[in-house]
Amino acid sequence: MLIPTEPIGSIPRPSSLLEAIAKAGDAEAPSLGPLYDEAIRDTISRFEETGSPVITDGEQRKYHNFWTYSVHGLPNTAPDGFCIPFTAGHVRRMPRLTAGPFRYKRRADAYLEVALRHAHAPVKQAVISPSALSLLYPDDEIPGYPRERFIDDLLHEHETEVRNCLAMGAHKVQIDFTEGRLAVKIDPSGKLLHSFIDLNNLALSRFSAEDRRRIGVHTCPGGDRDSTHSADVDYAELLPSLFELKAGNFYVALAGEKDRVRVLKIIREYLKPDQRVFVGVVAPIDPRVETPEEVCDRVLEAADYIPLEQLGTTDDCGFSPFCDDDSTTRDTAFAKIRSRVLGTALASERIGGHDGRQRE
């Protein structure tokens, strides 16, 4: 395929698994093991049936959500941490670190190891960004554990997780950076966003140029229960800083934007020659399944502004980043993925070996 296409990550969990988790009252209950295993096998099988050249395990076993899977249940945390408000009116809350040292409770390479046992296609692995987890540290300094030491520990944990995934054979390691756009909403001055960029670059600078070609960064306005947390933030406030990150790949939510062409022009202006951008061509929070022809049109539109050798396609966001979100069905998620794959292939055929028309 002339234009590569990759998923973002999460797929809605089977209702039987969600019901069992609710009944057990503990997502890590040993009795749930067989249900998780079956959910992973089924997700990978259905992913491969869509024809997707790259797949994920659907984040079936990421306890609770994509943001705090690595720290959920740590004994040195309290539940009253950073709040993430969504337009639907609900709030997701992070834990708050209460004491040092900071260590991950679990790493994403454990999920990748299981997925690789079942997969016949390349598998990518999503991990959470250091900047997202930096929000665990409270405003007031923790006695005996200054923020500087926390950041050192955080960077070490993140680096270890990413290196393990790369060594294990992940097709790509995707760093979820949904808090980028949210940072602009929280602090319109841009200081918080720039601190996030600097922190993530400290982590990325620990990897070689060859490694960074297999590392990507995902940005979106959030997606939970058919709502977002920062879609009202102008992309122009985020994208110039986003492409300062030392990553080789960027996954940018686009299908849900009101003015895609304006966003494409901004991407074209700030995308660096050694970077590839995967633009979103299906919107997970839209219940309607896009047709392959509709996806094709969106790909051709993007090819008018982004050089073909730097263009890819993706989903705007994961389909169920928070595990209890059942607002989208598994059938709908895989139907949208299939449309993305077919539409991207159709656009590749129509473009052929010719360069896209680059518009002014």
CATH number at residue 220: 3.20.20.210
Point out which residues pair with 91 in neighbouring strands. 85
Predicted TM-score (pTM) of the model is 0.93
Non-local (6+) Cβ contacts of 224 within 8 A are: 86, 88, 90, 92, 321, 322, 325
Confirm whether 311 is domain-assigned.
yes
**Taking a C-beta distance cutoff of 8 angstroms, is the pair 344, 5 a contact?**
yes
Write down the pLDDT at residue 14.
Answer: 92
Say how far apart CA 219 and CA 241 lie, in whole Å. 12
Question: Exposed/middle/buried for 148, CB within 10 Å: 0-12, 13-18, 19+?
Answer: exposed
**Taking a C-beta distance cutoff of 8 angstroms, is the pair 304, 357 a contact?**
yes
3-state helix, strand, coil in the chain (%, to 5): 40, 15, 45
DSSP state of 86: -
Confirm whether 7 is domain-assigned.
no
Parallel, antiparallel or unpaired: strands 173-176 and 276-282:
unpaired
Of the candidates 318, 232, 216, 304, the residue with the CA atom closest to the CA atom of residue 264: 304
**Taking a C-beta distance cutoff of 8 angstroms, is the pair 193, 238 a contact?**
yes
Non-local (6+) Cβ contacts of 237 within 8 A are: 184, 188, 190, 193
Query: Into how many domains does the chain fold?
Result: 1
Write down the pLDDT at residue 87.
Answer: 77
- pLDDT tens, per residue, the chain with 360 residues: 699 999 998 999 999 999 998 898 888 899 999 999 999 999 999 999 999 999 999 999 997 788 889 999 999 999 998 888 787 777 788 899 999 999 999 999 999 999 999 999 999 999 999 999 999 999 999 999 999 999 999 999 999 999 999 999 999 999 999 999 999 998 999 999 999 999 999 999 999 999 999 999 999 877 667 667 777 889 999 999 999 999 999 999 999 999 999 999 999 999 999 999 999 999 998 999 999 999 999 999 999 999 999 999 999 999 987 777 678 899 999 999 999 999 999 999 999 855 444 444
Write down the pLDDT at residue 25.
Answer: 85
pLDDT in tens, 216-236: 999 987 766 766 777 788 999
Residue 74 sits in which domain range? 15-351
**Given strand 215-219, what is the order of strands in its sheet?**
125-128, 173-176, 215-219, 249-252, 276-282, 311-315
pLDDT in tens, 67-101: 889 999 999 999 998 888 787 777 788 899 999 99
Write down the pLDDT at residue 228.
Answer: 72
Of the candidates 53, 66, 168, 67, the residue with the CA atom closest to the CA atom of residue 114: 168
Phi/psi at 124 (5° precision): -100, 155
Say how far apart CA 219 and CA 181 lie, in whole Å. 8
Of the candidates 285, 293, 184, the residue with the CA atom closest to the CA atom of residue 241: 184
Write down the pLDDT at residue 187.
Answer: 93
Confirm whether 169 is domain-assigned.
yes
Residues in the chain: 360
Confirm whether 252 is domain-assigned.
yes
Confirm whether 178 is domain-assigned.
yes
Confirm whether 2 is domain-assigned.
no
Confirm whether 59 is domain-assigned.
yes
Confirm whether 76 is domain-assigned.
yes
